[in-house]
Amino acid sequence: MHLDDPSLLRSLCRIGEEWVGADSQEVFDVVDPADGRVIATVPRAGKAETRRAIERASSALPAWRGLTARERGVLLRRWHDLILQHRDDLARIMTAEQGKPQAEARGEVSYGAGFIDWFAEEGKRIYGDIIPSPFPGRRIMVLKEPVGVVAAITPWNFPNAMITRKCGPALAAGCTVVLKPAEDTPLSALALVELADRAGIPAGVLNVVTGHPVEIGAELTSNPLVRKLSFTGSTAVGKALLRQCADTMKKVSLELGGNAPFIVFDDADLDAAVAGAIASKFRNSGQTCICANRLLVQDGIHDAFVDRLVEAVGTLDLGPLIHGRAVEGVERLVNDAVALGARALCGGTRRAAGGNYFDPTVLVGVTPSMACANQEIFGPVAPLIRFHTEDEAIRLANDTPYGLAAYAYTRDAGREWRLAEGLEFGIIGLNESMVSTEVAPFGGMKESGLGREGSKYGIDEYLEIKYVCRTG
């Protein structure tokens, strides 16, 4: 991999001021999903290294929280600027370890940096309250304080932005962090930490441990010095981590899986609906937690929408899926749907030339009970389900344990309100499929998680509320 600044390619854990290997000296491979080449090896660290990282984050906490929000903001802003200055290199590292095309990778770096910039400012607006007292002579005050050491566990599908979305608000609030990036994409995390170091963020404030997820996770969730867990990943792992955090009663936020409905009504702008479906479904080769999982299409527009969608899908040039297991999972869902009567109008198989590529697929004749309509597909497959009425669409959309994102295309303003209020999802796109931005609250209902990231609500996740009652 060519980098303008090769020193961004770090391959050791960062604990305090040191870049370190695993105590055991064991390593694991980081692999390019496009061709299976080994790009680097990183330490297979476990419990002991994680405990040291937590202790280092804890010892760095008093000085970091003791800075003013403005002082922290200056350092965060410098980090943001360095990320943008090295955008191309960060994107190259991301494409190499995760597979998304360069343009998408550059877009993610800019999007991710936005969280650092935004929270550098928002840290200055962590206001408390003075509450009018019902008792003469007493003062009732509310202070907001950093929660303490934060454990952050992140997935591979957005190797940069899922980290900045947590570290931006955590550091701005005055917390210190121990980060465990996904095994598939540790290099993006380590490059970000290298830049944080160059920005002057003090040693110990941001630590990274790569390695054994179960061992690292066990320490992060049981160590009493950690006061907060912020996790993005699958619902199954999120539930397990929530249970693990119970004994030490940590504050927890979870950004988990989704099963987003993408609803197209007869009165939709067809061009906009097709463009929205393509962007939502096929970005990152369909490996996005908020991507359209099921396309619900009303009778009157169904056939025209299908024709246009298939035409647009034919022009796509997608990156690989993250690994062979992901390809097998997608293949299984498609085969299951076809066996039950669905038809693939394009794609439907892995790419004949090999690698972890799956051809972009449109499935018609899908029914709500098929597995592809109930499980996260996490691949470039668009299953279409026909519906007749608005009530039916809302009922089908809500008929899932997930509640992350939902999309609808319609020109009826009254219906837009009914959808905004009737859909049980944390994020709703109306005639819009690109909804992620650092200024808006991102997060799910039901089994899609707890808490929000981004916006003024996102920083609350890293704050403790303290009530002070004073007489005199």
For ligand NAD, which stretch binds (CB under 6 A), given 61-69, 177-185, 301-309, 415-423?
A: 177-185
Contacts of 207 (CB under 8 A, 6+ apart): 13, 14, 15, 16, 53, 56, 57, 176, 177, 178, 179
How many other C-beta atoms lie within 10 A of the C-beta of residue 299? Answer: 11
Judged by CB under 6 A, the residue of 13, 54, 167, 182 near ligand NAD is 182
Specify the stretch interacting with ligand NAD by CB under 6 A; choose among 26-34, 211-219, 362-370, 460-468. Answer: 211-219
Q: Which of these ranges, 58-66, 98-106, 175-183, 389-397, lies near ligand NAD under the rule CB under 6 A?
A: 175-183
| 257 binding ligand NAD? (CB under 6 A) | yes
Residue 58: CB partners within 8 Å, gap ≥ 6? 148, 149, 176, 225
- Among positions 99-158, residues that touch ligand NAD (CB under 6 A) are 153-158
Q: Which lies closer to ligand NAD via its Cβ, residue 162 or residue 337?
A: 162
Build a one-symbol-per-residue string for 414-453: x at contacts with ligand NAD by CB under 6 A, - elsewhere. ------------------------------x----x----
Beta strands in 340-459 (DSSP E): 343-346, 361-364, 381-387, 402-403, 405-409, 427-430, 445-446, 449-450
User: Is residue 406 left, alpha or beta, with left meaning phi > 0 and alpha meaning psi from -120 to 50?
Assistant: beta
258 contributes a contact to ligand NAD by CB under 6 A: yes
How far apart are the C-alpha atoms of 426 and 406, rounded to whole Å? 8
Rg (CA), the chain: 23
190 binds ligand NAD (CB under 6 A): no
Residue placing its CB nearer to ligand NAD in the complex, 176 or 253:
253
- Nearest CA to 226 out of 45, 50, 16 is that of 50
Q: How far is the CB of 376 from ligand NAD (least distance, A)?
A: 5
| CA atoms of 309 and 95, how far apart (whole Å) | 27
Q: Which of 81, 89, 287 is nearest to 187 (CA)?
A: 89
Beta partners for residue 373, in sequence order = none
Smallest separation (angstroms) from ligand NAD to the CB of 89:
23
Q: Please, which residue, 43 or 73, has the CB nearer to ligand NAD?
A: 43
Subset of 283-312 contacting ligand NAD (CB under 6 A): 289
Number of residues interacting with ligand NAD: please give it, by CB under 6 A. Answer: 28
The yes or no reply on residue 237 touching ligand NAD (CB under 6 A) is yes
Residue of 377, 428, 365, 367 whose CA lies nearest to 399: 367
In the complex, residue closest to ligand NAD by CB: 217
b (16+ CB within 10 A) / e for 396-419: bbbebebbbbbbbbbeeeebeeeb
Write out the catalytic residue numbers. 255
C-beta closer to ligand NAD: residue 357 or 378? 378
Which residues bind to ligand NAD, rule: CB under 6 A? 153-158, 162, 180, 182-183, 213-214, 217, 232-234, 237, 240-241, 255-258, 289, 376, 404, 444, 449
